[in-house]
Amino acid sequence: MTDPQQLIRDMQSLDCNALSNDRKTRSELLAASQALCSRLETPWDTILRMITIEVYRLLPFRPSPNLLPAVLLSVKIATDLRLFSTIHRLENAATCSQLASTLDLESSFVERLCRHLVAAHILVCHYATGKFTLTPLATELGTSDSGMSGAITFMLEVYFPVFARIPALLRQQRYTAQNGLFKEASGTDQSLYDFLGANPERSEQFFGMVTGYAATRQKWTDVYSTNSLLEPHASTAPSSEVAFVDVGGGNGHDIVELLAKHPSLASRLVLQDLPDVLATSDVPDGVGKVAHDFFTPQPLRNARAYFLHSVLHNYNDNDAVKILQMLKPALKRGWSRVLITDVVIPEENPGLLACSLDMRMLWNFGSGERSERQWRNVIEKARLSVKKIWWPAWEGACVIECILEE
């Protein structure tokens, strides 16, 4: 048995800064420490954590395991007050009296707020001087426009009220949510995306949250062997010069990632989405844009790869099959492939984050994240074959490489 006291010393002496660029090891350490916490807790410890402090697992990105419920409220209050940016302006060291005077607040309130943030490891208190300094998280909240503040606001003001109504709605609908529950739960009579389209400020908060989540995942270009997109046409290859069609590609961020690795591909890349989406997209010169609804037949034939990133998880199995079937006539046997980049939930020991996202997709859209078995079922119904599933080295989406059915 490991000596508990030695384990504590080892944990306290771990140089986390040395792991700043080693995301795989950091992910493994986080998973192991969270699993250890679960084993150490009594049942009431766990319940109290869930109802009083734990919310960061609900966030689609995890800037810190310290963004937890009562703490989340204090962080929101602190950002509204510009507490973190004020400490930064005061050379990253300020007493309660200085903060109260600068922010025109009662000192007792500032003291209680800062004390809470210190307990949550978001501020650091230097007790000898009575000064507070910023942690890296507080620094980012106070000095950057990374989307964190907007994500917190969206969770508190949009998602939390929706989440609160989900259990009652599920009971009323006998635990089915084929079309999602966002309309009823939000009281807007709008789907999530319609709601975002009608509310630009909420849309900015939501997609900032999505961007933050993506930044914590391994890039698909580091999961999949993109060199295959550079292969010269074999004798059986079609005459088309299109290497990569980003179907439903939004603003084109995946094409930008691909070009970072292969700048010479620009003229052979095509971004597809609805006209109003393409109008606001920003891709490098040379990249093609084609307006397209992926529920209709694919107009570009014989491309090397047709790419679907976080598209199919928005749809139930029937719709996902239809989207794939719309691609089939465009595929060249022996040359073209469909690349589905999405979460694949392991059949055994599934991760908590992936399963939480799955439940959120159910509530939002009546869809969900899929296990490998469920993905294979959808792909086979579309009369395609799975050539290979490319798994990330650390947290991120898989790339499911599909070809025409043999």
Q: Retrieve residue 292's tokens.
A: 């397209």
Report residue 12 CA to chain centroid gap: 30
CA distances to 260, 271, 342 from 220, in Å:
12, 17, 9
pLDDT, average across residues 363-384: 94
Low-confidence winner among 50-64, 226-240, 297-311 (lowest mean pLDDT):
50-64
Low-confidence winner among 20-34, 53-67, 206-220 (lowest mean pLDDT):
53-67
Residue 53's pLDDT band (cuts 50, 70, 90): very low
* Cβ-contact 310, 317 below 8 angstroms: no
Ramachandran assignment for 121, one of left (phi > 0), alpha (psi -120 to 50 degrees), beta (any other): left
Residue 353's pLDDT band (cuts 50, 70, 90): confident
pLDDT, average across residues 200-216: 84
How many helices (H) does the chain have, and how many strands (E)? 19, 12
pLDDT at 329 over 50: yes
Residue 51's pLDDT band (cuts 50, 70, 90): very low
Classify 279 as helix, strand or coil. helix
Residue 239's pLDDT band (cuts 50, 70, 90): low
pLDDT at 234 over 80: no
Q: Retrieve residue 182's tokens.
A: 């966002």
CA distances to 30, 158, 241 from 201, in Å:
33, 12, 40
**C-alpha–C-alpha distance, residues 317 and 380, integer Å:** 11
Output the pTM of the full model: 0.80
Classify 135 as helix, strand or coil. coil
> What are 402's strand-pairing partners?
338, 386
**C-alpha–C-alpha distance, residues 283 and 265, integer Å:** 13
Q: N- to C-terminal Cα distance for the chain?
A: 53
Closest to 180 measured CA to CA, from 198, 195, 200: 195
Residue 145's pLDDT band (cuts 50, 70, 90): low
pLDDT, average across residues 1-26: 84
Most confident of 31-35, 174-178, 184-188: 184-188
Higher pLDDT: 382 or 22? It is: 382
Q: Tell me: the pLDDT tens digits for 92-111?
A: 999 999 999 999 999 999 99
Contacts for 373 with CB less than 8 Å, ≥ 6 apart: 347
Average pLDDT in the chain: 86
Residue 300's pLDDT band (cuts 50, 70, 90): very high
Residue 133's pLDDT band (cuts 50, 70, 90): very high
Q: Tell me: the pLDDT tens digits for 18-30?
A: 887 787 888 888 8
* Cβ-contact 91, 102 below 8 angstroms: no
User: pLDDT at position 237, please?
Assistant: 57
DSSP letters, 178-207, are: TT-SHHHHHTSSS-HHHHHHH-HHHHHHHH
Q: What percent of the chain has pLDDT over 70?
A: 90
User: pLDDT at position 129, please?
Assistant: 95
Residue 235's pLDDT band (cuts 50, 70, 90): low
Long-range Cβ contact pairs of 401-404 (< 8 A, separation 24 or more): 401/224, 401/337, 401/338, 401/339, 402/324, 402/337, 402/338, 402/339, 402/340, 403/331, 403/333, 403/336, 403/337, 403/338, 404/328, 404/331, 404/333, 404/336
Q: What percent of the chain has pLDDT over 90?
A: 49
pLDDT, average across residues 43-47: 57
Higher pLDDT: 58 or 215? It is: 215
